Structure 1
Amino acid sequence: METLEKERGFRHQAARIGGAALLLMAIAASFSYGFVHESLTGHGDASATWNHLRSANLLLKSEIAGWILILICDIVAAWAIYVFLKPVHEALALLSAWFRLTYAAILGVSILNLLFVSLLSGSPEKFAGLGQGQLPAFTMLFLDAFESIWSAGLIIFGGHLLIVGYVAISSDHIPKIISILLLLASAGYILIHLAPMFLSAADPIVVVMEYIFKVPMIFGELGFGLWLLFRGGKVTAKN
């Protein structure tokens, strides 16, 4: 009985930690990608983007710090979700954790490209041998590499959500609406980021899919995080 109570308490803590990690990640992502990244890189051509990055290098560094925080939260969430879902289906819970950790590793590689961008735009005098005309081109190359590598990782992340959604819908305690949102979000991530790999003119299709899957992609993990934080611990205390 005492061992069972300790296990419930451990799952209780894991649920709270996982929920907090998912919410913190959502806030950091809104800042790093939704606010900073788009404002820094959405300037049309390489020269305009390069000049803006040079004048806002501190903001770029704050974006990178946000991505590193997201990476840490992903690792914590992988562990916490595994611990919480383990009693429902141990093998699938473990598989979901490995999928998320794989995604986190890919995200880490993509973040390295932003570090290269920060070096190029923050200290251009160190790369004078490249020539002034080449620096913007190299900067755009690393920015494109960041987004391409991250996009590939999000396919793996979609697989993680697919497993979590399936296990969640098999649970008697997790609300079905959250499980369904997670499954829809997984489909969104997989389809949106697979499309450019197989379709030459995927942009219009991706825009439509982003519109279709916008709600579950935003509220799937966010809703799961809120539920874990405020209700997940109460469930483990009773079961």
Structure 2
Amino acid sequence: MSLEYRTNPGNGMWFAAAGALIAMVVLAFPGIGAIEAILTAATGSEAAAGGGVGEAIRASGGGFGAALVALVGIVVLDVIVAWALWGVFRPAQPATAALAAALRITYSAVFAAAIGLLVDAQRLAAGVGATEALPVETRDELALQRLAEFDSIWSGALIIFGAHLAVVAWLLLRHGGAFAAIVGAFVVIAAVGYVFDGTLPLIVPEWSGGIAQFTFIGEVLLIVWLLVGGIRSARSARRQASMAQAGPTDAATRVSA
């Protein structure tokens, strides 16, 4: 068995990373989109009319709970992406690939902790358990506080995520090939966008963020690169399997001749 065959990551790693990233995009709309809509409602006309975040959560019905489930799904997929990307880059750069995976898992853990605050906000708004004894106004104020804490923790998590993307960009640039270099350059831009989105709200509290929505193209290209790499890996595996099967046959033919 050749060295290339033993060190080349299986095509399953490439497709696992690409598939998990695509699934995350699908879940991001009902998850993050719903949370942002509720925050907008809580600070908009409903709040001015005496509503607020608690009323917005209650008015969403099961929408807020569905958004929380989607966010938990994103956390799980983040761990899968961390593992799969580690498998893709480990053969050439084992230490750096491990660093990229560690940063993404750390981000996932912080994000999961932030989601816990959203769960608490839902319980407060609905008056579940011991919170039922509290006045509605108090519960709504506490729910708003939980969402503000979620936003602050998530801002810090985005800095970690940006660092993860920066390491992935370095791995792409070191991987070799023009396509990988182009993708790596765009991933660097995406990393900068996340770092700014995470840092600026801590420095300028009134900053609303949103830079990453213009720099995300690097993440899209990363998915394409992974799909192409998976296809190439599958073809390489088939060629090597064919060569391995043909080898003994050729040897037997030469002996008989």
Normalised by the size of structure 1, how large is the TM-score? 0.87
Higher relative contact order (CA 8 A, sep 6+): 1
**1:62: how far off?**
0.4
Q: Deviations over 1:160-196 (max 9, x none)?
A: 0000001101112453221111100111111221122
Taking only the aligned residue pairs, the percentage that are identical comes to 23
Partner Cα distance (2:110, 2:231) in 1: 34
**1:223: how far off?**
2.1
Matched residue type, 1:158: G
Structure 2 residue 126 is matched with structure 1 residue 122: yes
1:78 corresponding residue in structure 2: 82
Matched residue type, 1:189: Y
**1:90: how far off?**
1.3
User: Which of residues 185, 194, 208 is equivalent to 1:189?
Assistant: 194
- Give the paired residue count: 229
Partner Cα distance (2:65, 2:156) in 1: 23
Higher gyration radius (CA): 2
User: Which of residues 163, 171, 178 is equivalent to 2:167?
Assistant: 163
**1:47: how far off?**
2.9
Partner Cα distance (1:4, 1:181) in 2: 28
Partner Cα distance (1:132, 1:50) in 2: 8
Structure 2 residue 230 is matched with structure 1 residue 233: yes
Partner Cα distance (1:90, 1:235) in 2: 21
Partner Cα distance (2:54, 2:150) in 1: 16
Partner Cα distance (1:72, 1:7) in 2: 27
Partner Cα distance (2:130, 2:167) in 1: 47
The answer on whether the counterparts of 1:57 and 1:122 sit within 8 Å (CA) in structure 2 is no
Relative to structure 1, is the Cα distance of residues 146 and 93 closer, same or farther in structure 2, using a 3 angstrom cutoff? same
Q: Deviations over 1:96-138 (max 9, x none)?
A: 0000000000011001011112212233574233222201100
**1:236: how far off?**
3.1
**1:39: how far off?**
1.8
Relative to structure 1, is the Cα distance of residues 59 and 7 closer, same or farther in structure 2, using a 3 angstrom cutoff? same
Q: Deviations over 1:36-59 (max 9, x none)?
A: 112222121383322121122310
The answer on whether the counterparts of 1:23 and 1:226 sit within 8 Å (CA) in structure 2 is no
How is 1:82-101 mapped onto 2 (pairs within 5 angstroms)? 82-101=86-105
CA RMSD for the aligned pairs?
A: 2.3
Matched residue type, 1:32: G
**1:7: how far off?**
5.1
Gaps of at least 5 residues in structure 1 are none
Normalised by the size of structure 2, how large is the TM-score? 0.81
Deviates most, 125-134 or 162-171: 125-134
